[in-house]
Structure 1
Amino acid sequence: MYMIPKGCIAVGLFAGLVVSLPGCNTAPLYRKEADQAAYRITRNSSQEALGRAESYSIERPSDTLRRRLLLDQQLVYADPASLGTTDLPPAKHWPDPEYLTETAPAPVDDMPSSDTPLQLTLLDTLQIAARNNRAYQTRKEQVYQAALDLDLERDFFRFTWAGLAESLLQTDLEEEVVINDKGDTDRQTVTEMQNTGVLRLTKRLENGMTLTGLIGLDLVNLLTQDRTSSRGLYADASVSIPLLRGSGRFVVTEPLTQAERNVVYAIYQFERYKRVFAVDIASEYLSVLQQLDQWKNAEDNYERLLISTRGIRRKAEAGLLPGIQVDQARQNELRARNRWIIAQEGYKRRLDEFKVLLGLPTDAAIELDNTAVEKLSEALAHMMAPPSRPAGEEEALPADAPATIIPPDPEHAGPLEMDEIRALILALENRLDLRVARGRVDDTQRKVAVAADALRADLTLLGSGSIGERRLLGSSASPDARMRFNEGRYSALVGLDLPLERTAERNLYRNSLIVMEQSIRDYQELEDQIKLEIRDHLRRLLESRESVRIQAEAVRLAQRRVESTDLFLQAGRAQVRDLLEAQEALISAQNALTAALVQYRVAEWALQRDLGVLEVDETGLWKEYVPEGTPNDHP
């Protein structure tokens, strides 16, 4: 019976171990490892950058609002991909079945009703947009990807293992072999097998030193003739130490440092994006309601004109008014109907666009809280007081009396209409995009130092040592190798690359200085742009506040004008044209007042956004900035 040599068993076990290591982790395990590494990095980096730990999870919810609307409201869709990843059939050779089923828990506060339109408040839309908007998810994934890049850079300085196992079978059909002790030879078929297993360990240090260790095992078996075997056992170690160029820690770790900074930048940029995104959602929410208010105003105006035209026609039939005034009223009635239809369809169009912004189907039944504009009017009621007039202005003044222009009254200013210097200081302290721009300046300075290091001579110390012997095909008759340190082979080498040709490095160094200057100019431009934005927001707040007061007075005057003109018309002291003009002025003033209210509120949000003081949490909900001394009832 043929006995398997012990060396063969050892190599088989070693080779099996090396081969099995890569196969132990499946695609789901690798994905989970990547998630753990990325989330650990984002939590630590956000704690460092923001003072609070956030993971920036990219896990899909188990059931999205878009999917529920499509199914519950029985909306049409083209393919299961419209419902989401969990509804996709697995592709051929799909490596990760768990990915299609593993999801994050779905929040229960946005569950729609299948038989009634989904009612959305402003806070609802902020949360829904954060979970369903596609661009929002992409920006969050960029933070995750930056964390993965950092993990890869850190891996460069970790212990790196590599394993290799191979088996080689070789047959020589006519090899001359010795057949007896006398030295006689014969041509025979010779078959040999070589099994090799190698385990390598590499460690790179932050000072540029690289350490490499290797241990290998060979087994050569003769499968014909006398079936001899021989075992090879060997180990190698080497070290590489840069002494001049590339020897500084700042040079070696620059990719790692940049990757760490990139994660912080990604977090800053996403936090800035969340604020911009939240203000965009809220502004669009009010814009849709503003369009709805215009529709209602157009409808009220149309109804008034229908009633007025009917009365004018009766008076014309009684001979109290000429027929031309009936035609005037009829023309205004048709114009009002056209305006009503345009406002109605404009609202529907704006609402559909808002659904797309939220990441929801455009044909879903959704309604916004139409009391938001009324609540806004109540909150800003103090601004709608009649404009101030000089003492005695209520009475008629002589025609030659001098006109008095009253500047805007700061008495009714909102809490965010702060001092300009204070606002600029807040913005420069809190704007995250400005921090990113400043960090870019530091990045370019480091790159200048790295580029300058590349101009130096390259002096490297290399050392290596090896013990033991290998066994290759044809050495099955050799004795087993042994590892003896006193029989090892050791060497040392010093290599010097003089800086005689550094054209590429020279140009790279000069370009790095140019890039640094560009980054400084970019920072300066952004700082000036921020100041411009803040000053402009403060002006817009003042303009909007005064516009609210003026348009509120215009609505009061227009209402009084409509009422008085109608009475005069009934008394025969006014023309139909006067009533039609009064009604036209009323609807214009009503629309202008709503626009002014919305504009002021949006201006407040925009100022908080660009001051960097608007806080938005992971769910999309915000916490507005309240200056000290602001009453609690301020919106």
Structure 2
Amino acid sequence: MRNHTVHYRNASFANILVSWTMLVGSLIAGALLAGCRSQAFYRTQADNDAYFLVAEKNSDPRWHLDRTSITPDPRSRMFDPFSPDCPPMPTDDPAAHQFMEVVDGKKAYWGWERNGVTNEVANPNWLAYLPLNEEGTLLLDGDKAVEIARLNSPDYQRALEDLYISALNVSFQRFRFDAQFFGGYETFFTATGPARAGSSSSVLEANTRNIQMEKLFATGGQLVVGLANNIMWEFSGPDTHSVNSLIDFSLVQPLLRNGGRKVVLENLTQQERDLLASVRSMERFNQSFYLDIIAGRGLAPGPGNVGGVPSIGPNGAFNASGYYGLLQRQQTIRNQESNIASLRSSLAQLEAFFESGRIDSFQVELTRQSLFQTQSSLLSSKTTLQNSLDQFKITMGLPPEINVQLERDRFFEQFNLIDPVFTPITNKLNDIQGTVGTSLLEVLPDPEEIDPNKPFRGELVWDENVKQRFENLRALTAQLKAILQLIDEDLYPLVEEDVAYLEEVLPTRVEDLQKIQEKLAGYSEEVPQETVSNGVLSTKRLEDLPPQLRIILGDLKQRFAQHRGILDKIDQEVAVLLEQGPNLTPDQLYTQAKGVVFDPVPDEVQTLIADVLGLSLVQARARTETVSLVPVDINSETALKVARIHRLDWMNAQAAYVDAWRNIQVVANDLLSDLDVVFSGEIGNVGGDNSVKFNSDNGRLRAGLEWDAPLTRLVERNNYRESLIAFQRTRRAYYQYRDRISQGLRSTLRTMDLNRINFELRRAAVQVAISQVERTQLRLQEPAKPNQTNQQFNSSTARDLLNALDSLLSAQNDFLSVGVSYEVLRRGLDVDMGTIQLDDRGIWIDPGPVDGKFWEEQVENMGPQSDLPDFHQEQRALEGIESRTEANPADDPDTPVEILEELPPGQLMQPEGVQPVNPNLEPPN
């Protein structure tokens, strides 16, 4: 390389000094001005390499990732709108910031704020992309929750970044085998005084620095080629210059230690395999991320966590978390609200009976206490729901102050055994009942003012107060008519539709019950059939239910028609009283009012409440029998074979097992001697004027061997022994990993079978609880016997009513809990088998019913049996050991243990062609 300083031969020293000063100044200024631009160049270069490497490993459709970029979406809360290379300084803590200005009395760096200052931490525009309604509320369903979480979850972003970093590791290992170039340049002007060297001198010297090329070969050989160039110009004395150039090279090829592709390519091989594992782990993370958002059941990466099966309660159910957990809590709140409406109705009935002397005050107070406790429990449940909702927002990456409204899910809709529209109507009737009682009491005279010598009839003096009370009663009858119209137009047709739907799905329900009976017959040893009541799985009971409900509906229709007639009659009588009241004597007014208002109105409201409750119970009976679960019919053996083929983490676990095996050979290489072939040489220029005039006369060539005996290998010996132990640990971890997958699948399928049966038991429990409520309500509607006044109810009437309502609430919640646990396990089974499919939004594609016969055929069509070996064949294949011969009794899995114990150790333990280990083996000399 010719140095440009030779062109300054006739230039003055001052000109040369100025020129070099300008050159150096330009280089420094360019370096300072490059700043963010050069940083962006390297960032973009790293991105291109990483995404290219990820795309290489992302070509298999079994684990194809739709999203690999680590740059957050502009809609995300994590998106940074500022320059990624030169972002503005965040707002600092004032007390800490002073040390960035003055530290230890020294003025600090001045340019911290040159890119600006921002107080924004999250993307300032992200809320504009959040799908809020006009009231600023986020309407959230399951699919939308997953989409928002994929956009804003820091955990999801971190998983993408881990994949990116894994790709960077591969880029470095590939770079090691590229031709790498290094170079630099230095220029110095040296002036020496006469007292130092005997005479003054001025020298300008220019040198090349580190101009070389390095190349690592797959065999371990390392080639280094370098260029050195020195130009010296002496301005004092003879004013001479000299040019010296030298090209040198060195090639070192290890033959034993650190040589060979097995060792040299190990790091690259491992990083390539790790990147493939990272891509598969990311896809596995996508699958588990969906399940974590929906049901709160996530999967940690790696072979340590193979299922994340939640803790199962004694009845096979558990409380889900995630979005389904929120919906489950919301549904239990609806059940509580319905229960409170029924309690209010019951309390109003009992209070009326207490006024008429038919029940004691203790039962009224017992009911009132139960109502207060249930209301308190409802408030606690709502608070728990809000706390859980805030935690769920954080899981999605949203701030907890965002208003969120949960939208209903199709799966949960079927557990609305009593439609929520009944609750406000029942509450309205309860309010009317209380208002009627208050109005009548205010119209009646004060008992202390009644003449004891006269028969109790009371006296009503017509005035504006009495008139207003009658007008209020007439307004209440109008409200009752409006409620009856709502029942006729909305509630009654809705219940009829539910009964019709029950008739429609009846054949499917009967078929399901028969399949459960068949499965129970197959479990005759594990689950005795007598443990499940025959009535629970009776198809005749189910077939008889729709006609029974039709009869009840017909009776209720007639009763609602009677209610309309009674209300019309009461309305007419009240109108007459309003017209004739001023002309009636107090005695006449009281007699007519009692006959047409004081007696009929409370009874009418009470019976109407009871009939509305009866209509809701008909709906509950019908809907209880139409709730369905998606069938899953696959055994654990088939599920394990499917998981062996499809689970991405199993593929990674098998690859990690082989990595540990391969590491033994790599570490063992360090036990060898160092034996290297060395080939080096150099050649220089001839003459002092031409820096590239190289000549072999001014060169040297050197070749030879370098050997280092393995006299000290204690560290290497220990490392080798540790690698053997690590392999055995990985080997054990691998088959334990396989066992945990098998255990998880068996537990999941066993629990799902339990839930299928338990679901029918819970369904029957709901029907029994409904019957209990019906019987207690019928008891309250029993009229007093003729010629008997103040006929008392049984002393346990209120307690029986409260127990019935409480049993219905508990049965509804248990029914829901078992159904939710089954659905979560069904989705989890899809993940555990590795068959889960997501769309481009990360939303689960429901596979519908799981048919074990279909999957058995799929497994068989995957290829010959060798493609799906049993576990022991799998182990031998991974260890590189050939199969045993047929003549070896140890090969036969049916060989009795007694025979195996009598075989010689070599025949028992060693496959054909592998010599047994000599326990007296001595180390080599």
1:486 CA displacement: 3.0
Distance in 2 (CA, whole Å) between partners of 1:110 and 1:550 is 43
Larger Rg: 2
Q: Which residue of 2 aligns with 1:362?
A: 400
CA distance 1:164–1:137, shift in 2 (3 Å): same
Q: Which residue of 2 aligns with 1:243?
A: 255
Q: Indicate whether 1:289 and 2:327 are aligned.
A: yes
CA distance 1:417–1:7, shift in 2 (3 Å): farther
1:598 CA displacement: 1.1
Could you tell which deviates more after superposition, 128-137 or 545-554?
545-554
1:189 CA displacement: 2.4
RMSD after superposition: 4.0
Determine if contact 2:277/2:652 at 8 Å carries over to the other structure: yes
Q: Which residue of 1 aligns with 2:664?
A: 448
1:489 CA displacement: 1.6
Instruction: Find the partner of 2:69 among 30, 39, 57.
Output: 57
Q: Which residue of 2 aligns with 1:43?
A: 55
Determine if contact 2:632/2:850 at 8 Å carries over to the other structure: no
Q: Indicate whether 1:416 and 2:632 are aligned.
A: yes
Written as runs of structure 1 = structure 2, the 5 A alignment for 1:92-491 is 111-113=131-133, 115-174=135-194, 187-198=198-209, 199-283=211-295, 284-375=322-413, 377=415, 405=532, 414-468=630-684, 482-491=693-702
Distance in 2 (CA, whole Å) between partners of 1:251 and 1:96 is 48
Q: Indicate whether 1:597 and 2:608 are aligned.
A: no
1:549 CA displacement: 2.1
- Secondary structure of 1:496's match? strand
Distance in 2 (CA, whole Å) between partners of 1:339 and 1:373 is 26
Determine if contact 1:40/1:55 at 8 Å carries over to the other structure: no
Determine if contact 2:63/2:279 at 8 Å carries over to the other structure: no
Q: Which residue of 1 aligns with 2:870?
A: none
Please identify which structure carries the higher strand content: 1
Could you tell which deviates more after superposition, 519-528 or 331-340?
331-340
Q: Which residue of 1 aligns with 2:748?
A: 537
**Residue deviations 1:425-452, cap 9 Å, x none?**
1112222222222111111111111122
CA distance 1:113–1:219, shift in 2 (3 Å): farther
Distance in 1 (CA, whole Å) between partners of 2:259 and 2:86 is 54
Amino acid at match of 1:27: Q
Distance in 1 (CA, whole Å) between partners of 2:538 and 2:704 is 80
Instruction: Find the partner of 1:562 among 761, 766, 773.
Output: 773
Q: Which residue of 1 aligns with 2:587?
A: none
- Secondary structure of 1:513's match? helix
- Secondary structure of 1:141's match? helix
**Residue deviations 1:2-60, cap 9 Å, x none?**
x9732789998999999989979711111111111111111111225846365611111
**Residue deviations 1:230-261, cap 9 Å, x none?**
22222111111112222210110100001011
CA distance 1:16–1:279, shift in 2 (3 Å): same
CA distance 1:539–1:171, shift in 2 (3 Å): same
Amino acid at match of 1:578: D
**Residue deviations 1:247-297, cap 9 Å, x none?**
210110100001011111212222222222211211111110110111111
CA distance 1:167–1:84, shift in 2 (3 Å): closer
1:613 CA displacement: 0.8
- Secondary structure of 1:533's match? helix
Could you tell which deviates more after superposition, 249-258 or 340-349?
340-349
Q: Which residue of 2 aligns with 1:524?
A: 735
Q: Which residue of 2 aligns with 1:586?
A: 808
Amino acid at match of 1:496: W
Instruction: Find the partner of 2:829 among 599, 607, 610.
Output: 607
Amino acid at match of 2:153: N
1:605 CA displacement: 0.6
Determine if contact 2:630/2:849 at 8 Å carries over to the other structure: no
1:108 CA displacement: 10
Q: Which residue of 2 aligns with 1:397?
A: none
1:377 CA displacement: 4.8
Amino acid at match of 1:316: F
CA distance 1:4–1:518, shift in 2 (3 Å): closer
Could you tell which deviates more after superposition, 371-380 or 327-336?
371-380
Q: Which residue of 2 aligns with 1:575?
A: 797
Determine if contact 1:15/1:166 at 8 Å carries over to the other structure: no
Determine if contact 2:189/2:205 at 8 Å carries over to the other structure: yes
**Residue deviations 1:162-191, cap 9 Å, x none?**
0111122322101698xxxxxxxxx44212
Determine if contact 1:413/1:542 at 8 Å carries over to the other structure: no
Determine if contact 2:82/2:88 at 8 Å carries over to the other structure: no
Q: Which residue of 2 aligns with 1:30?
A: 42
Amino acid at match of 2:143: L
1:373 CA displacement: 4.2
Distance in 2 (CA, whole Å) between partners of 1:352 and 1:210 is 59
**Residue deviations 1:402-436, cap 9 Å, x none?**
96856997998844331222111111222222222
Distance in 1 (CA, whole Å) between partners of 2:737 and 2:227 is 56
1:616 CA displacement: 3.2
Determine if contact 1:65/1:111 at 8 Å carries over to the other structure: no
Please identify which structure carries the higher helix content: 2
Distance in 2 (CA, whole Å) between partners of 1:133 and 1:550 is 40
Q: Which residue of 1 aligns with 2:88?
A: 89
1:548 CA displacement: 2.5
Determine if contact 1:43/1:55 at 8 Å carries over to the other structure: no
Determine if contact 1:27/1:95 at 8 Å carries over to the other structure: no
Q: Which residue of 2 aligns with 1:395?
A: none
Distance in 1 (CA, whole Å) between partners of 2:337 and 2:23 is 85
CA distance 1:88–1:117, shift in 2 (3 Å): farther
Q: What TM-score do the two structures reach when normalised by structure 2?
A: 0.58
Distance in 1 (CA, whole Å) between partners of 2:219 and 2:740 is 41
**Residue deviations 1:350-389, cap 9 Å, x none?**
2111111111111101112124444455999889779679
- Secondary structure of 2:727's match? helix
CA distance 1:468–1:107, shift in 2 (3 Å): farther
1:559 CA displacement: 2.1
Q: Which residue of 2 aligns with 1:501?
A: 712
CA distance 1:428–1:106, shift in 2 (3 Å): farther
Determine if contact 1:66/1:83 at 8 Å carries over to the other structure: no
Distance in 1 (CA, whole Å) between partners of 2:142 and 2:175 is 45
Unaligned runs of 5+ in 2: 91-110, 296-321, 417-500, 518-528, 540-627, 783-792, 853-925
Determine if contact 1:126/1:278 at 8 Å carries over to the other structure: yes
Determine if contact 2:183/2:208 at 8 Å carries over to the other structure: yes
Q: Which residue of 1 aligns with 2:542?
A: none
- Secondary structure of 2:756's match? helix
**Residue deviations 1:573-630, cap 9 Å, x none?**
6711111111111111111122122111101011111111112356322223456779
1:114 CA displacement: 5.6
Determine if contact 2:88/2:115 at 8 Å carries over to the other structure: no
Unaligned runs of 5+ in 1: 68-80, 178-186, 391-401, 472-477, 631-635
Amino acid at match of 2:191: T
Q: What TM-score do the two structures reach when normalised by structure 1?
A: 0.82
